[in-house]
Amino acid sequence: MTGGWMLAALLLGVLGVLAPVPRWALWPASFAASATSAAACLLAAATGRGAGRTFWRWLAGAVALLCLGIAGQAVDTLRHLGQVVAMSPLTGLFYFTAVSVAVLALLRLPGHRRTWRATVAMWLDIAIVAAASGLVLLQFMATLPLPVPDGVVATVLRIIMLGSACAAVVAVVKVGMSGTGPVHGRALWILSPVGLLGPLSLLLAPAFQRYPHLNAAVVVMPPLALALALAAHAQTRANLAGAAGPVLAEQPREAAGQRGISRIPYVAVAVTATMLLGVTVRTGYLPAGLAAGAVCLIVLVLIRQHAALSDNSRLADRLAVQARHDDLTGLPNRRHFTDALHGRRAATTVTVCDLDDFTALNDRLGDDTGDAILRRAAERITLAVGGDALVARLLGDEFGVLLGAEHPLAEGDRLAEALLQAFQAPLPVDGHDLLVTVTVGSAAGRDEVVPDLLRRAELALQSAQRVGANRHQRHTAGLDASAQHHADLAAALRRGLARGEFRLVYQPIVELPLGGMHAVEALVRWHPDGGAPVSPAEFIPVAEQTGMIVDLGAWILDTACADAAAWQRRHGTAAPRISVNVSARQLLDPELPGLVGSVLRRHGLEPGRVTLEITETAVFAGGPALHTVRALRALGVGIALDDFGTGHSSLTLLRTCPVTTLKVDKSFIDELNGSPEQEAIAVSLSGIAATLGLRAVAEGVETRDQADRLHVLGYRFAQGYHFARPLPAGDIDAALLSAVS
């Protein structure tokens, strides 16, 4: 609506230039435009809240006073037709009060919270802008010929012009330097040029003397009202979209736009310098008032630059500290730790400890609790080793300790034992006591070996973790050779998989007591070209650690299913089921269920003909691995717990994990044909399986007596060397043919 009134005023103004119109013709349009902009401000206040609502109410009040000023000046102009600018003291008071209310509304806007240093810097910037703007305004007022003789009206005009310009400066400073607070930034930017319309009207006033219907005030009022309406509209849209109010107030100015606030003081200084240069060139000297103002401005700029350099220096120091420390625990980080090592040559002991099963704890309890565990662990390690040691968080849940030879824990394994002992007591985290243990690797040396101690300690840690948890391993020369062999074996594994050096063999799972082939377990063998066969016990752990087990496991699954599908086509229902081992690393891959489903479809194999064998430890902690197992079971494939009884052996696992088969470990089968106490576990596992409706398979059967005893104890399925060693697919096919004949 404000735009419509402005368009009407424009048409009347142009029409008045071409043809006579009444002197009062434009005043109603200016008044109506201002009134509708006041209504727009009230709408912005109605949709806002808090300080934003108060600001727009004050601004609506300022526009209402402006409307009164317009009405008063319309009357003054019609009463004093010969004056260029007719303004009574009452009209001037309305204008002055309107400008004052607008400036107060801007000043009352709350800014963003800052540190005291940021606050000082902000006020220095504001002082620079104010000083520069003041110099420009004073020079402008001194050189601007007013369209009225000196007197009360001239004084009022100067005050209004100065106040309007101050409003523009305050708006720019508020939005660009101290933050917009609860008012939409775009709205304040739209408002910022409004204050310049007052001085502009005085410049245009002499040009309108030829047109009786035109007046400086009546010309600038419609665009001023339009700017106010557009700003209020921007605020209303932001309010309705939820982008104003407290949300805007909480936006960190330092993060969002602090980089751009320095431009405003520099622009102000540049404009002032240009003005001072122009005055000097035009007059040949710089007036005393301007010279004094220029000196003050220079002093303010120097102080601000000194503050900026000081802030930059403090920031650089803080960033340097942060770059060498861990944000979560406050401990030195890996960079700090390695730098400390590289600077030493004296006898040094380095110990690296890792929280056991931290990943499972973090998955089960959540990231916040995991962070709390790490902080508590850092405190306990620091307390255990004393203040003379360098304790660092190296990565994840791995911590490092560096000791000099003079430290009381540097001798032998005392440091490692102190760390192990420190974690025997539970960690208090979020009101709970959590039992968290550590595994430790250590290395010691002097002179040129000191920079390499961290690598050696981590190598010892890896060796200890392969054995188990809550233990210590000291670095030895053999670990270096083992690490090199591990690296060579990993490279050979990748080459071997690409060259097709792997083969599958199948060990029958027979049905007791007759020994008919019920299923086969797929076992992988590696025969490098031109080399001796490599034991699975040697290359499977390497494949697990390097992640190559995912690719190798996919190949095993595809090959085994292809062989099973071929047996099914040739032998029908006599074909054996297929069991395929799935590693813990594979269970962490969310793509595994999709891979299994695509392999089954590709080979036309029914899911019920396939059993995937997993270990207890892989799913004991739950989390992603257990979710993957449930997704696999949903496909229709069987799930077998391999080596049951040797891992965590929690009976709860049989309720949470969708198991279909228990494979009883060989260690329990070896104790058969002995005393009832020796057979107790094997008997119990058979009973548990029968009660839960699971299939029990006895592993490692090597004698006829064991097979007979298993049948008596209730076992119906078994596998082992007594029945058959692992055989190639062709031999399985031949055995099936001979069984038929």
Burial 44-66 (b: 16+ CB within 10 A, else e): bbebbeebbbbbbbbbbbbbbbb
Q: What is the pLDDT of residue 715?
A: 92
Alpha-carbon distance 120 to 303, whole Å?
11
Residue 323: count of CB within 10 angstroms of its CB: 10
CB burial class (10 A; 0-12, 13-18, 19+) of residue 307?
Answer: middle
Whether residue 642 contacts residue 663, with contact meaning beta carbons closer than 8 Å, is answered with yes
Selection from 146, 142, 393 nearest residue 279 by Cα: 142
Selection from 298, 294, 215 nearest residue 23 by Cα: 215
Q: What is the pLDDT of residue 567?
A: 94
Helix (H, G, I), strand (E, B) or coil at 537: helix
SS (H, E, C) 20-76: CCCCCCHHHHHHHHHHHHHHHHHHHHHHCCHHHHHHHHHHHHHHHHHHHHHHHHHHH
Residue 622: count of CB within 10 angstroms of its CB: 14
CB burial class (10 A; 0-12, 13-18, 19+) of residue 383?
Answer: exposed
Q: What is the pLDDT of residue 261?
A: 45
Alpha-carbon distance 604 to 598, whole Å?
10
The contacts found for 141-144 with CB under 8 angstroms, 24 or more apart, are: 144/199, 144/202, 144/203
Residue indicated by tokens 């142009």: 14
Q: What is the pLDDT of residue 279?
A: 72
CB burial class (10 A; 0-12, 13-18, 19+) of residue 652?
Answer: exposed
Alpha-carbon distance 105 to 183, whole Å?
11
Q: What is the pLDDT of residue 199?
A: 61
Whether residue 326 contacts residue 332, with contact meaning beta carbons closer than 8 Å, is answered with yes
Q: What is the pLDDT of residue 257?
A: 39
Whether residue 85 contacts residue 147, with contact meaning beta carbons closer than 8 Å, is answered with yes
Q: Give the pTM.
A: 0.55
Whether residue 223 contacts residue 6, with contact meaning beta carbons closer than 8 Å, is answered with yes
Question: What are the CA-CA distances from residue 9 to residues 13, 19, 220 (Å)?
Answer: 6, 15, 10
pLDDT under 50 in the chain at which residues? 12-19, 146, 148-150, 243-261
Q: What is the pLDDT of residue 553?
A: 94
Residue 164: count of CB within 10 angstroms of its CB: 24
| Helices and strands (H and E) in the chain: how many | 30, 15
Alpha-carbon distance 620 to 654, whole Å?
10
Amino acid (one-letter) located at 197: L
Alpha-carbon distance 218 to 492, whole Å?
89
Angle between the N-to-C axes of helices 288-323 and 116-143, in degrees from 0 to 180, rounded to the nearest 10: 160
Q: Are strands 390-395 and 348-355 parallel, antiparallel or unpaired?
A: unpaired
Selection from 565, 560, 559, 577 nearest residue 604 by Cα: 565
Q: What angle do CA 379, 384, 386 make, to 5 degrees?
A: 95
Q: What is the pLDDT of residue 16?
A: 43
DSSP string, 639-669: EEEEEETSS---TTHHHHS---EEEE-HHHH
Helix (H, G, I), strand (E, B) or coil at 356: coil
Selection from 553, 501, 503 nearest residue 531 by Cα: 501
Selection from 593, 679, 584, 599 nearest residue 641 by Cα: 584
C-alpha of 592 from chain center = 27
Alpha-carbon distance 565 to 628, whole Å?
24
Alpha-carbon distance 210 to 679, whole Å?
120
Alpha-carbon distance 73 to 447, whole Å?
92
Alpha-carbon distance 111 to 251, whole Å?
11
Q: Is the dihedral of CA 331, 334, 336, 341 positive or negative?
A: positive
Selection from 429, 340, 433, 329 nearest residue 381 by Cα: 329
Residue indicated by tokens 């050189």: 143
Peptide bond into 20 cis (omega under 30): no
Alpha-carbon distance 459 to 588, whole Å?
25
Residue indicated by tokens 């009164």: 68
Furthest-apart CA atoms within the chain: distance in Å: 131
Selection from 504, 543, 540 nearest residue 521 by Cα: 504
Q: What is the pLDDT of residue 298?
A: 83
Amino acid (one-letter) located at 403: L
Selection from 36, 41, 33, 34 nearest residue 231 by Cα: 41
Amino acid (one-letter) located at 408: P
Question: What are the CA-CA distances from residue 211 to residues 69, 71, 82, 462 (Å)?
Answer: 22, 20, 12, 94
Burial 225-234 (b: 16+ CB within 10 A, else e): bbbbbbbbbb
What values do phi and psi take at 642, rounded to 5? -80, 150
